[in-house]
Structure 1
Amino acid sequence: MFKLAHNGNVLLDIGKHSPPSAAFIIEALEESNFCDCKIDYDSINNFFKSKNPEPILVVATKHDAILSVTISDDKMLAIGELTLAQGGNVLSLDDAKMQLVKARVARGYKQAFLEKLLQKQFEMPAGSSTKGILAKGRLPIDGQDTKFNTLVKTLKDRLKTPKLKDDGSVDMRDFGKLASVSPGETLIRQQPATPGKEGFNVLGDLLPAKSGEILSLVSGEGTEISKSNPLELVSTIAGVPVEINNGMRVDDIFTISEVTVKSGHIDFNGSVIVSGNIEPGMRVKAKGDITIFGTVESAQLTADGNITVKQGIIGHYKPEDKSLSCTLNCKGDIYISHAQYSYLEATNILIERQASHCSIKAVNLLQVGQAELPKGRLFGGEVLNATTLIAGEIGNESGAKMVINLAASGAEITADTDNCFQDLANTDKQLDTLQAALEKADLLKDIEKKNMLIGKIGATQQHYCQQAEQLEKRLSNLENNLHDLLNNANLAVNSVLHSGVVIHIFDKVLKTTRTYPPCSVKLQNNKIEVEFKTH
């Protein structure tokens, strides 16, 4: 009844016997050997509508299975779409591989992916389509930066972990055994940077990886790079380990219960730990860190490292010389609980609860309140300098005088810039004078004297040219430093900014005349602006 043409069409000869209906033809096809072929419904229906039908009717078409391969836009995936055969041949593994080659798939191919897709030919209806990943690219894996694994507990670690009592509460005065190391003890083990692993896309293009940053292990005082292992830092003395950038130092340590008239002032080359209080009028000076577990009252603390006071610092205003009786000054950072009528100066200053009527000078950060969202109070007194100030509440309802200076060091940069311009002008003047002398020397008739003079003038010119180049480089650095300082200057208030607070940012001034909700105060377009925080 049906026969297959060379072009894949299934034909029905209706010259002798005309079929009674389209349903008859379709039912007959489904019972025949051509049941999987694609039925041509349009051709069958048109036959019954036509007044002069053709003697041969195309009732179905045989189709082989086909695979089309698409490359994703990022070239990281090759996706195959398989259309199953309809009365035709299934797709072989080798023919499927040829389609991958035609699509220029070069890497990331797995035969298991292709076999899984081809298996669908025996599980799904004829003529249906299915998709599957045939090849996957690999993203590059960036290398890891140098890591420094600390093998000992530092004093800072110890202060973060107060001792737990038997009843489950925390004893804020007891921090357990003092962190200390012995000579030869390994402090840090360096994990070298890795180069990373390059990736590729399915077309075979290489995707380069970024190498990790290579950092050098730094040996501070009291330490050295191990002679047997250059990746290890070891202690050369007994003392307390203190973290520094990319390394560690070990401080000799002096421990005392209290600093009083009986103990006398302390001036020590290492670090100082006071387990109790420091009484009024006493001085403590250290080359390393100063750590106080009690309170400090009307005393002077000076350190090359950090100063930490677990309790408060209390001073008084001295009307005779308009000074404050308690001063803390260090080259590192200051960490304290609270302060009043005290002078504080450090790189960064972190106050847990509040500061009242203090004079505070920070190079970078002044934070009042604990980390995450500081909610501490700052009122009265003056902030002499800071780049960033973060607090919960600034000023108070009584209107106590409060002055804040941000980016005050910009005045020093400006003064240095003016001096640099003056030096550059003087250098240019010297070069003009030398040029005139050179032209004059060129007129001399005595060749030997002329050459000797020109040589001397040339050497002096070179000196001033180098000096001018250095001055121009310094001017550029000063300009960049001032730009960065003003760009980073920021006052962040997380609760309330009261009225009556005078805010200086470089040479601009803003006095608050009302109470502000959480806000940020910055220098924008050469003007101090207040931006309100949105939640």
Structure 2
Amino acid sequence: MPLLQLSQDGCSLSLITNSGQCQYDVPITRELIDTQLHELGVENFYRFEPAITEALELLNVAVSNEEQDSDVAVEIRQIVIAERRDAGLLVKTEPDLMTASVTVTGAFGGAQVTGQQLITALQENHIVKGISKAVLQELLVQAQQLAPGEKLTMGVAFGREPQHGRETWFEPLVADASQRILCPQATEDGKVDMLDLGALITVEAGQAVMKRHPPTQGVDGFNVLGKLISALPGEERPFEPGDGTAIDESDDSLLIAVKSGIPRRMPCGAQVDDALTLAGVDVSTGHIQFDGSVVIEGDVKPGMKVSATGNITVSGFVELATLEAGGDIFVAQGIIGRQQENKTLPCRIQAKGKVVSKFAQYAEIVAHESVSCTLHVLHCQIKTSGLVSVMDQSRRQGTLSGGTVDAGQGVIAVNIGAAAGVTTEIVVFSHYQQWRDRLGELYQKIEHERRNGRKLKQAKLKLLKVTAAKRPPELIEKLKAASASHQQTMADLKHRYQVLRQRYDQTLKNAKITATTHFYAHIRCQIEKEFMMVDEEHGPSVVCYDERRLQRLAYHA
């Protein structure tokens, strides 16, 4: 009698055992079973290991009982030890319904997965959108090469996040004065004159200075089940003309100058300032306070103070001085302070716009928009709502080391810290609590409006209990008006909450501390409320908020 027997349909394999009579002279082993599986060509069948163990025990008991009575009744049993199995197929959808994956399990001697099976499985799981045909084809190819029981998982369907509309944006139509600082003029012999910043940027009356682009509606997204995810439309923002500018009567998307002067950009508009030009600022000129923009074609000497409602442009150095501008501050050569025993720094630069310089050291710099230096920033105290950038246009030099930096949007430099291990503190998105407070206020208003909605619903139900003839018409109209107002208020509050939440999440996602070449040790990093200490030197790195915590990742340009 054969040891193994294949079923008539070829789908299962049984091991034949006798009780009471032995037909085998030697113990039956798994190696012997494996040999016969190969001889039958079913070595890839799925094996029932407990059944094989049971059958082996029965067989080997019979083999050991060689002196048993031949007249004992023989009971023949068939124990199924293996079966043919087709390739397995499992569809899984992520909780957010934005990704669906397929897991294929290699066949145990059975049929391989077909394209039609994949499509049917997706349909049965209601996966109808974002299916990648290329990925399905690749899955089929790789599935054919799977060993029995081997698993292969691939994402095959992908939802599309909504692309929220862009808010109104304003395009400057005149050159930025900061480019004069960052790009000194070349002389006839090809050299660069660091003191020659080219012609002063001015505008004439009637010249367009800014263009307003309308907001976009955005592009709706979808999940893998085909459900639409609505995009939030961009916010409409009107022009805010400043002094010396007006909206063009023939084109309300253009802002024009109404007088000649120096243009100054503002978040939602521009203004044109009168200009005061000086050779330098020292004891001979005294402190400068001017209603407009100030252009200094030399240095600002120690102890001096320059205040302007517009921009301040300095062609030379600012040393141990104070600059305050209602617009931007541009310093061509550098900002020089001095180390003090206390934390107060004697060189102070403050701008409602941005601060741009070649370098800064031992200085306090406060800028609403951003701070940019091309060479280095050493032992400074910097605070800005925008980005701090320390690198030249070639991105080859730029070191931020020592001091403290509080940047709303992020920090990027070629090198952060120093090989000597200078302690540097960097905080990004420190004003997150203001955003959270605003979100909390909106949420409370939404909850309050929900309670109003429930009260309206109760009033309607109470009114419905009254017979139609006895319902006061004025009360019906009042409830209709209140219901319409409630729905409009809820829609407005939810939209405002969604927009603010989306901005918060995007700001947090973009908040990064980046060193494109060296990230030295002793750097204390904080983003939002999370912080980490970088205690070892690293190459190109970026510290960012990822997976609910701060992480240092390799930086790739």
- The 1-side partners of 2:407 and 2:517 are apart by 22
The answer as to whether partners of 1:442 and 1:450 remain within 8 angstroms in 2 is no
Q: Please report how far the alpha carbon of residue 511 of structure 1 lies from its aligned counterpart in structure 2 after TM superposition.
A: 0.9
Name the SS for the 2:349 alignment partner: strand
- The 2-side partners of 1:403 and 1:483 are apart by 24
* 1:421 corresponds to: 443
* 1:520 corresponds to: 542
Q: Any stretches of 5+ residues in structure 1 without a counterpart?
A: 1-147, 193-215
- 2:385 paired with 1:357: no
The answer as to whether partners of 1:291 and 1:308 remain within 8 angstroms in 2 is yes
Residues 189-245 of structure 1, C-alpha deviation per residue, up to 9 Å, x if partnerless? 99x9xxxxxxxxxxxxxxxxxxxxxxx999875355777999998643121245779
* 1:403 corresponds to: 425
- The 1-side partners of 2:438 and 2:523 are apart by 30
Cα–Cα, structure 1 residues 464 and 267, in superposed 2: closer, same or farther, change >3 Å? farther
Cα–Cα, structure 1 residues 285 and 435, in superposed 2: closer, same or farther, change >3 Å? farther
Q: Please report how far the alpha carbon of residue 475 of structure 1 lies from its aligned counterpart in structure 2 after TM superposition.
A: 1.6
Residues 382-437 of structure 1, C-alpha deviation per residue, up to 9 Å, x if partnerless? 22124332212212234333111223333322222222222222232344345555
Q: Please report how far the alpha carbon of residue 269 of structure 1 lies from its aligned counterpart in structure 2 after TM superposition.
A: 3.6
1:22-421 to 2 correspondences below 5 Å: 155-156=177-178, 158-159=180-181, 162-163=184-185, 169-184=191-206, 186=207, 221-223=243-245, 235-241=257-263, 250-260=272-282, 263-316=285-338, 322-344=343-365, 345-421=367-443
Cα–Cα, structure 1 residues 153 and 477, in superposed 2: closer, same or farther, change >3 Å? closer
- The 2-side partners of 1:229 and 1:436 are apart by 52
Which of 388-397 and 433-442 deviates more?
433-442
The answer as to whether partners of 2:320 and 2:338 remain within 8 angstroms in 1 is yes
- The 2-side partners of 1:335 and 1:189 are apart by 22
Q: Please report how far the alpha carbon of residue 377 of structure 1 lies from its aligned counterpart in structure 2 after TM superposition.
A: 1.2
- The 1-side partners of 2:478 and 2:241 are apart by 47
Q: Please report how far the alpha carbon of residue 351 of structure 1 lies from its aligned counterpart in structure 2 after TM superposition.
A: 0.8
Name the SS for the 1:324 alignment partner: coil
Which amino acid in the other structure matches residue 369 of structure 1?
M
The answer as to whether partners of 2:184 and 2:192 remain within 8 angstroms in 1 is yes
Name the SS for the 2:450 alignment partner: helix
1:504 counterpart (526, 531, 542): 526
- The 2-side partners of 1:529 and 1:480 are apart by 22
- The 1-side partners of 2:278 and 2:430 are apart by 38
Name the SS for the 1:426 alignment partner: helix
Q: Please report how far the alpha carbon of residue 266 of structure 1 lies from its aligned counterpart in structure 2 after TM superposition.
A: 3.8
Q: Please report how far the alpha carbon of residue 464 of structure 1 lies from its aligned counterpart in structure 2 after TM superposition.
A: 4.3
The answer as to whether partners of 2:293 and 2:308 remain within 8 angstroms in 1 is yes
Which amino acid in the other structure matches residue 417 of structure 1?
L
Q: Please report how far the alpha carbon of residue 285 of structure 1 lies from its aligned counterpart in structure 2 after TM superposition.
A: 3.5
* 2:517 corresponds to: 495
Q: Please report how far the alpha carbon of residue 171 of structure 1 lies from its aligned counterpart in structure 2 after TM superposition.
A: 2.8
* 2:51 corresponds to: none
- 2:507 paired with 1:482: no
Q: How many equivalent pairs are there?
A: 362
* 2:493 corresponds to: 471
- The 2-side partners of 1:412 and 1:335 are apart by 27
The answer as to whether partners of 2:514 and 2:555 remain within 8 angstroms in 1 is no
Cα–Cα, structure 1 residues 333 and 224, in superposed 2: closer, same or farther, change >3 Å? same
Name the SS for the 2:501 alignment partner: helix
- The 2-side partners of 1:234 and 1:534 are apart by 42
Cα–Cα, structure 1 residues 381 and 188, in superposed 2: closer, same or farther, change >3 Å? closer
* 1:134 corresponds to: none
The answer as to whether partners of 1:374 and 1:391 remain within 8 angstroms in 2 is no
- The 2-side partners of 1:246 and 1:189 are apart by 9
Which amino acid in the other structure matches residue 485 of structure 1?
T
Which of 222-231 and 502-511 deviates more?
222-231
Which of 461-470 and 349-358 deviates more?
461-470
- The 2-side partners of 1:420 and 1:500 are apart by 40
The answer as to whether partners of 1:187 and 1:235 remain within 8 angstroms in 2 is yes
- The 1-side partners of 2:431 and 2:251 are apart by 44
The answer as to whether partners of 1:187 and 1:248 remain within 8 angstroms in 2 is no
- The 1-side partners of 2:197 and 2:447 are apart by 60
- The 2-side partners of 1:423 and 1:491 are apart by 35
Name the SS for the 1:423 alignment partner: helix
Please say which structure displays the higher CA radius of gyration: 1
Which amino acid in the other structure matches residue 411 of structure 1?
Q
The answer as to whether partners of 1:367 and 1:374 remain within 8 angstroms in 2 is no
TM-score, normalising length: structure 2: 0.55
Q: Please report how far the alpha carbon of residue 450 of structure 1 lies from its aligned counterpart in structure 2 after TM superposition.
A: 4.7
Q: Please report how far the alpha carbon of residue 336 of structure 1 lies from its aligned counterpart in structure 2 after TM superposition.
A: 0.8
Which amino acid in the other structure matches residue 340 of structure 1?
Q
The answer as to whether partners of 2:181 and 2:331 remain within 8 angstroms in 1 is no
Once the two structures are aligned, what percentage of the paired residues are identical?
A: 28
Cα–Cα, structure 1 residues 232 and 467, in superposed 2: closer, same or farther, change >3 Å? closer
Name the SS for the 2:357 alignment partner: strand
TM-score, normalising length: structure 1: 0.57
The answer as to whether partners of 1:410 and 1:485 remain within 8 angstroms in 2 is no
Q: Please report how far the alpha carbon of residue 159 of structure 1 lies from its aligned counterpart in structure 2 after TM superposition.
A: 4.3
Which amino acid in the other structure matches residue 406 of structure 1?
V
Q: Please report how far the alpha carbon of residue 274 of structure 1 lies from its aligned counterpart in structure 2 after TM superposition.
A: 1.8
Cα–Cα, structure 1 residues 360 and 426, in superposed 2: closer, same or farther, change >3 Å? same
